Amino acid sequence: MSVRQQYHITHETRYRYAGKVVHSHQLLHLVPRPAPYQQCLEYELQISPAPTHRRDEIDAFGNPVTRVEFQHPHRELTVTTDMQIAVHPRPAVPAADTHPWERVVDSLAYNGHWPARANLDICRFRHESPYVRVKRAFTDFGAECFAPGKPVLSCASDLMHTLHRELRYAPGKTDVGTPLMEVLEKRHGVCQDFAHLMIACLRSRGLAARYVSGYIRVYPIKSDSTPEVTDVALIGGGASHAWVAVYSPPFGWIELDPTNNTWVGVEHVAVAWGRDFGDVSPLRGIILGGGRHKLSVNVTVRPVNAMA
């Protein structure tokens, strides 16, 4: 039986610039958002050099964000978060009890009037976004997963299995600017690509899906030298991870991890969600000066204990 997990997470982002940055504005998505299944017990944000101005606020999707401005020259920027997170088991959701996928599409469609007020927020995750286009190719890719009358969560789960089978996890082969059509053609990518492609397949059918950014606990792989290790390895450690939330009435948003072919559980810690990566990038901004830069990111997720 799953038990509550507590993690100590550190996330360090470091930019080294070829020249001096004379002015910079940065937007940070690094504070885990409140959720029924997780609690942020402790949190510390360290920024070097110290920003001239800092403001904490909530973005349009309900995510905590930090805005910082630097008015003094610098050639290096380091942002480090240190946090303690408790993650609770989620209740089991029977996929077969979710609504037929066509019914969900109809409930979110524009039929001469706006859908019910409760659905307006959901509809934000139904349409195209900068990194997720709606195309026939994505509809066709997942066609076998969407039989008539099939429950929406069963469709999404089968689509996750298909993506995991058809795509190869290949760090370094893509970046944030790689078009999804290229990912589909070459059949490889990282967690960001897996999530974007799954979202594209769902939205291309009129369903609502959102991009979730966070962290994942990666188990060591069993080997002859460590025979006591029996947990299944997960992919996506060492940096931010990404997965998908699918609107699945009557249960609401259900999260699936296509990179690891699994439903999201106590191994996942959500930081932010939005339409795609662009809405929840851990750190992005505008700089004046600096020239070329070198980026390094290091994330560690260390279990503190396990409690029933």
pLDDT tens per residue across all 308 residues of the chain: 468 899 999 999 999 999 999 999 999 999 999 888 999 999 999 999 999 999 999 999 999 999 999 999 999 999 999 999 999 999 999 999 999 999 999 998 877 666 555 577 899 999 999 999 999 999 999 999 999 999 999 999 999 999 999 999 999 899 888 999 999 999 999 999 999 999 999 999 999 999 999 999 987 655 554 444 444 468 888 889 999 999 999 999 999 999 999 999 999 999 999 999 999 999 999 999 989 999 999 999 999 974 43
Q: CA–CA separation, 182 vs 184, rounded Å?
A: 5
SS3 at position 176: coil
Instruction: Please tell me the predicted confidence (pLDDT) of residue 113.
Output: 65
Q: For the chain, which residues make up each domain, given as ranges?
A: 4-87+283-307, 95-264
Question: Class assignment of domain 95-264?
Answer: alpha beta
pLDDT of residue 239: 87
Nearest to 214 by CA among 195, 198, 233, 188: 195
Domains 4-87+283-307 and 95-264 belong to one CATH topology:
no
Distance CA 207, CA 122 (A): 10
The whole-model pTM stands at 0.92
What was the pLDDT predicted at 224?
52
CA atoms within 13 A on the CB side of 202: 36
**Which CATH code is given to the segment(s) 4-87+283-307?**
2.60.40.2250
